[in-house]
Amino acid sequence: MNRFKWFTRNWWILHAVAVPFFFWLGHAVRF
Amino acid sequence: MTIKTYVRSTLLGALIALALAGFMLHARIHLITENPAFTVPFIAGILSVVAVPVLFWFKKTLSYGYVLNGFLCIIGTVTMAHYAIARWDAPTSPPDIVFKSMVIDILIVWGKFLVGKALFDLESFGYDPERPKAGLTYRYPNMGWWLIHLAAVSTVYTLGNLLWSRS
Q: What DSSP letter does each residue of B27-86 carry, written as one string?
A: HHHS-TTT-GGGHHHHHHHHIIIIIHHHHHHSGGGHHHHHHHHHHHHHHHHHHHHHHHHH
How far does the CA of residue A10 sit from the closest CA of chain B (Å)? 14
Residue A1, pLDDT > 80, answer: no
Considering the entire predicted model, what is its pTM? Answer: 0.92
Q: How far apart are the C-alpha atoms of B7 and B135, rounded to whole Å?
A: 24
Asked if B157 lies within 8 A of A19 by C-beta distance, the reply is no
Please report which confidence band the pLDDT of residue A3 belongs to, taking 50, 70 and 90 as the band edges.
low
Asked if A4 lies within 8 A of B63 by C-beta distance, the reply is yes
Asked if B161 lies within 8 A of A27 by C-beta distance, the reply is yes
Asked if B37 lies within 8 A of A30 by C-beta distance, the reply is yes
Choose among B61, B72, B49, B51: nearest CA to B124: B61
Residues, chain A, total? 31
Digit-by-digit pLDDT tens for chain B (167 residues) are 888 889 999 999 999 999 999 999 999 999 899 999 999 999 999 999 999 999 999 999 999 999 999 999 999 999 999 998 888 877 667 777 777 778 899 999 999 999 999 999 999 988 788 988 888 999 989 999 999 999 999 999 999 999 998 75
Partner-chain residue, chosen from B62, B82, B153, that has the shortest CB–CB distance to A22? B153
Residues of B in contact with A4 (CB under 8 A): 63-64
Residues of A in contact with B153 (CB under 8 A): 22
Q: Which residue of B lies nearest to A22 if distances are taken between CA atoms?
A: B157
Q: Which residue of B lies nearest to A2 if distances are taken between CA atoms?
A: B60
